[in-house]
Chain A
Amino acid sequence: MAHLEIDNLCASYGNTPVLKGISLDVEKSEVVSLIGPSGSGKSTLLRALVGVTKPTEGTVRIGETTVDYRSAASLRSVRDSMAIVFQQYNLFQNMTVMDNVTIAPIKIKKWNKAEVRKHAAELLERVGLSAKHNAYPDELSGGQQQRVAIARALCLRPQLLLLDEVTSALDPELVGEVLDTIRDLARDGMTMLIVSHEMGFVREVSSRIVMMDKGAVVEKGPPAQIFDAPEQERTRDFTARILSH
């Protein structure tokens, strides 16, 4: 039984369809990466999964449960099981690093405060930011902010972690530190659905890759297939262009 099962998922912005029947699944402890040109719907797919963009059709199943995005209770439970990290980090600017990481587990999930703070301290150490507990987001570099955002997502103990172009807004020399953090998570068996343009990283870390274009899935397969022997013309074009520069 797949951990996450997406079947024929559709979404639109106004009258423009941006997801045209996406189907894919993610097994437990698997890392699946979405690649494809800008505007292909990769980020929208992640946003639709957490209900920021409302799906118009299709089904999403997590474990045994089918999600109903129109029901508040169902939306709450899907958001309980997934955490998303955004391209622009979206840390709360009015809170310290520690508060950013602990606010949701403490105030929303009502978990034990001392345990949450201990867990948060471990996560911050893991992403290399032990010294920054009391810093505010605007005192940190982009890479540091993004690592705080990852710690914030992990502190929610999600079953599935969604990473939306988490390195796209970073200076090139800061990309490495964030990718290292994600590699580490993959080694630990974290189930992840990743949108990324870092092809080398995607190839190395993913168990499977999904090539998307114009709101639809073009091809799915292991990294070796997608990068070395793509079955679809469109995939070949895309990987050839991206790898050539």
Chain B
Amino acid sequence: MIDRIMREIPRFFSASNVDFLIEAAGRTLLLSVAGCTIGFLLGLLLVVIRRTSHPALLPLRTLAIGYTEVFRRIPFLVILFLVLFAIQAVAPRASLFTIALIGVCIVSTAFLSEIIRAGFESVPRQQVDAAEVMNFSYLQILFLVVAPQAWRVILPPAFAFMVMFIKDTALASQMGVVELTFAGKVLSNKGFSATLTFGAILLAYFILSYPLTRLGRYLEHKLGSSRN
């Protein structure tokens, strides 16, 4: 097997194959980064809605809670297919990549929202009371007092989720998006050794996720050594 792999390596890393792999890695990266960034922002928005207390906003709160609870319970792949068929029904010309991007954002929003909510709730109620009696507005309480104390609690699970999430984007291959896993299948179908092909794919996933792990550790360390 080693002989075969050694023989295939020059051909496997031909310019066209490398371009193909880089392009696929780019799609995986884009799905992950966009999924995490958009998911984080929308997740934060859901938490901002959930923490309100005005009676008039009850429908919005219910919607936010319902969203988080539902989409954390449906398998990722099922959501991708749901999104695929729903979008193709209304916009048949939408690109598979766009559809996959929407699908991953739906999932990451639900999970990151829950992580952010738990972090915000770890800040003692008295901190909010103190800010309230000094006339801080709802958003000022959230972003000047609660969030700065919550990041320490939020970051470790958020980064763990994001690293997992990079790998989960492989599911987009099931709907035909040519990301890393799909590229592996294509190359392996071309006749290259599966060990060589998926070994290369594994390495690519590692290269994509390792910097994120390091960034997570750096931030945890930085916030951990400052204030609680």
Question: Taking beta carbons and an 8 Å cutoff, which residues of A are in contact with B?
Answer: 50-52, 76, 79-80, 82-84, 86, 88, 90-94, 103-104, 107-109, 136, 138, 156
B227 x A136 contact (CB < 8 A)? yes
What are the residues of chain B within 8 A of A109 when measuring CB–CB? 135
Q: Using A80-B135, A86-B129, A91-B130 as known contacts, list a sample of 11 further A-B pairs with CB atoms less than 8 Å apart, ordered by residue number in A.
A: A50-B133, A52-B132, A52-B133, A83-B134, A88-B126, A93-B149, A93-B228, A104-B135, A108-B135, A108-B136, A138-B227
Contacts of A90 in B (CB 8 A): 126-127, 129-130
Most chain-B Cβ atoms within 10 A of its Cβ — which of A86, A92, A107? A92
**Complexed CA–CA distance, A93 and B126 (Å):** 11
Whether the Cβ atoms of B140 and A108 lie closer than 8 Å is yes
Q: Min CB distance, A75 to chain B, in Å?
A: 9
23 A-B residue pairs with Cβ-Cβ distance under 8 Å, sorted by A, are A52-B129, A52-B132, A76-B135, A79-B133, A82-B133, A83-B134, A84-B133, A86-B130, A90-B129, A90-B130, A91-B130, A93-B127, A93-B149, A93-B227, A94-B227, A103-B144, A104-B134, A104-B135, A107-B140, A108-B136, A108-B140, A109-B135, A138-B227
If over half of B's interface residues share one DSSP class (helix, strand or loop), that class is named, otherwise mixed; here it is helix
CB distance from B128 to the nearest CB of A (A): 9
Counting CB contacts under 8 A, is B49 at the interface? no
Q: Is the CB of B130 within 8 A of A92?
A: yes
The answer to whether B148 has its CB under 8 Å from any CB of chain A is: yes
B127-154 contacts to A (CB < 8 Å): 127, 129-136, 140, 144-145, 148-149
A83 to B135, CA, bound (A): 10
B227 touches A104 (CB 8 A): no
Q: A108-B140, A138-B228 are in contact. Are A94 and B135 (CB under 8 A)?
A: no
Question: Which positions in B face A, CB cutoff 8 Å?
Answer: 126-127, 129-136, 140, 144-145, 148-149, 227-228
Whether B129 and A107, one on each chain, are in contact in the complex, defined by CB atoms closer than 8 angstroms, is no
Nearest Cβ on chain B to A213's Cβ, whole angstroms: 25
Chain A interface SS verdict (over half): loop
| Chain B residues within 8 Å of A91, by CB | 130
> Complex Cα distance A76/B138, Å?
13
Chain A residues with CB under 8 A of B130: 86, 90-92
Q: Contact between B129 and A92 (Cβ–Cβ < 8 Å)?
A: no
Which residues of chain B are within 8 angstroms of A93 by Cβ–Cβ distance? 127, 149, 227-228
Q: Provide the bound-state CA to CA distance between A81 and B136, in Å.
A: 14
Nearest 9 Cβ contacts at the A-B interface = A90-B130, A94-B148, A104-B134, A90-B126, A50-B133, A94-B149, A79-B135, A136-B227, A108-B135
Point out the residue from A52, A80, A82, A94 that lies within 8 Å of B145, measured CB to CB.
A94
